[in-house]
Amino acid sequence: MKLRISHETVYRYARPIRNLVQSLRLTPSAFEGQKTHEWLIEVSGGIRGPGFRDGAGDWIEGWTVRGPAEEVTVRIAGRIDTRDTAGVLRGHRETIHPMVYLRDSDATKADDALQDLARQADGADPLDLAHKLSHLVGDRIAFRPGVTRSGTTAAEALALGEGVCQDHAHALISLARARGLPARYVSGYLHSTIDGKAHDAAHAWAEIHVGQLGWVGFDAANRCCPDERYVRLGSGTDAADAAPIRGVALGTGAEELDVRVQVEEMAQ
């Protein structure tokens, strides 16, 4: 698919802030499923800082805004060609050993219920097992916005039985690790859900490392593997670690956030 993406994040501060520093993981991954043609990152009033590719293969870019500023906008605009690789992250250059992704974080720690659930899946091989775990998560956690928060853990989401893509991804990561499969959180965009409805928000899914095949994506929320409708940005051990934007500013007031994402298919 040829996709045009625009993504705007507006921060509004009750009192002006100074010295805002951000670390952005907002550039599409380079692998066989994605070819980026144009990609602009702009932070209003900001200075572009260091940019580098990290050990996970993600492009990281630092920005600073000296301020004072009452409003800061992080604006992404780009064009990208995507291709279905059946979820396999083929041709992605990264150097972190997969075993690192067996380490748990608070968000993905498996409680007894998650451990029990992990044992219910039965796979002929790691790939088959990963598919089954993904289905289990889809069965046990219904998609329902508004019931979970950004800090909700996999264990809490399973207990609730409801959540959003972040919760599905956390739960799947938790199950995979419980079965000895390295797993990680992926953030990105989604053009449309499988029934063709437009998806106007950032998206997230899980990747599981399955031996020879390497990293394979699983979107438990949508019961599929990422295909050409998906745009992959970056990864981490959990949502906080993989966050597309991390930032800290000097300031004392409240902060308001407004996010707009548009993923459109361009005419051929």
Partner 1 sequence: MSSYNEMYEGDRVRDPYARLRDWVETMPDDFRQMKQAEAEALFRRIGITFAVYGEGGDPDRLIPFDMMPRVFEQAEWRKLERGIKQRARALNAFLRDVYGRGEIIRAGRIPARLVYQNDAYEKAVVGVVPPRGVYSHIIGIDLVRTGKDEFYVLEDNCRTPSGVSYMLENREIMMRMFPQLFRGNRIEPVDQYPELLRRTLESVAPAKCRDRPTCVILTPGHFNSAYYEHSFLANLMGVELVEGQDLFVDGEFVYMRTTTGPRRVDVIYRRIDDPFLDPLCFRPDSMLGVPGLMDVYRSGGVSICSAPGAGVADDKAVYTFVPEMVRFYLGEEPILNNVQTWTLWKDDDYRYVMDHLPQLVVKEVHGSGGYGMLVGPKSTADEIEAFRAKIQADPSNYIAQPTLALSTCPTFVEEGIAPRHVDLRPYCLCGDRIELVPGGLTRVALREGSLVVNSSQGGGVKDTWVLSE
Residues making contact with partner 1 (CB under 8 A): 19, 21-23, 47-52, 54-56, 60, 62, 64, 66, 95-97, 99-100, 102-103, 237, 240, 246-248
Contact criterion met (CB below 8 Å) for 205 and 143 = no
Considering the complex, what minimum distance in angstroms separates the CB of residue 135 from partner 1?
Answer: 28
Contact criterion met (CB below 8 Å) for 33 and 82 = yes
Contact criterion met (CB below 8 Å) for 99 and 210 = no
| Residue placing its CB nearer to partner 1 in the complex, 60 or 206 | 60
Query: For residue 85, which phi and psi values (nearest 5 degrees)?
Result: -115, 25
CA distances (Å), 167 to each of 79, 192, 197, in order? Answer: 29, 19, 21
| Residue placing its CB nearer to partner 1 in the complex, 60 or 130 | 60
Look at the alpha carbons of 100, 220, 187, 152 in this order and tell me if their dihedral is positive or negative.
negative
Please report, to the nearest 10 degrees, the dihedral formed by the alpha carbons of residues 202, 235, 165, 31 taken in order: 70
| Residue placing its CB nearer to partner 1 in the complex, 138 or 234 | 234
| Residue placing its CB nearer to partner 1 in the complex, 55 or 145 | 55
| Residue placing its CB nearer to partner 1 in the complex, 22 or 34 | 22
Please give the Cα distance from 51 to 60 (Å, whole number): 6
Neighbouring C-beta atoms of residue 196, cutoff 10 Å: 8
Contacts of residue 128, defined as CB under 8 A and 6 or more positions apart, other chains included, come to none
Query: For residue 51, which phi and psi values (nearest 5 degrees)?
Result: -130, 135
| Residue placing its CB nearer to partner 1 in the complex, 52 or 257 | 52
Contact criterion met (CB below 8 Å) for 160 and 147 = yes
| Residue placing its CB nearer to partner 1 in the complex, 15 or 103 | 103
Please give the Cα distance from 11 to 72 (Å, whole number): 5
